[in-house]
């Protein structure tokens, strides 16, 4: 999980935060005026999400509207038929 710090906290604790990122592999979100403006992650780290975070975010999703199934059927029926690729032998 990312640790939020204000831009002021970040500037005052830069050395400590950089050490935590480097040695503890922590991630920080820098916030200014209540809005996230940057994320500080260890070098070479790729964005990752835990299974628990995915499951938690799924609970916040809304159910599709009434016309959702109709939209899917219309999209599928408007697609051209796929041609089978013939591989040379």
Residue 67 lies in a domain: no
Residue 86 lies in a domain: no
Residue 25 lies in a domain: yes
Residue 48 lies in a domain: yes
Enclosing domain of residue 18: 3-60
Give the containing element (helix H, strand E) for 39.
Answer: strand 35-40
User: Each residue's pLDDT tens digit in the chain (89 positions)?
Assistant: 799 999 999 999 999 999 999 999 999 999 999 999 999 999 986 667 888 888 888 888 888 888 999 999 999 999 998 888 888 87
Residue 56 lies in a domain: yes
Number of domains in the chain: 1
Residue 24 lies in a domain: yes
Question: What is the pTM assigned to this prediction?
Answer: 0.50
Give me the CATH number covering residue 28.
Answer: 3.40.1620
């Amino acid at each position: 999980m990312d640790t939020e710090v204000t831009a002021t906290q970040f500037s005052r604790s830069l050395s400590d935060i950089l050490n935590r990122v480097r040695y503890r592999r922590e991630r920080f979100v820098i916030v200014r005026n209540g809005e996230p403006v940057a994320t500080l992650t260890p070098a070479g780290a790729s964005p990752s999400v835990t299974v628990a975070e995915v499951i938690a975010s799924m609970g916040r999703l809304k159910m599709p509207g009434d016309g959702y199934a109709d939209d899917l059927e219309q999209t599928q029926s408007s697609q051209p038929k796929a041609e089978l690729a013939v591989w040379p032998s």
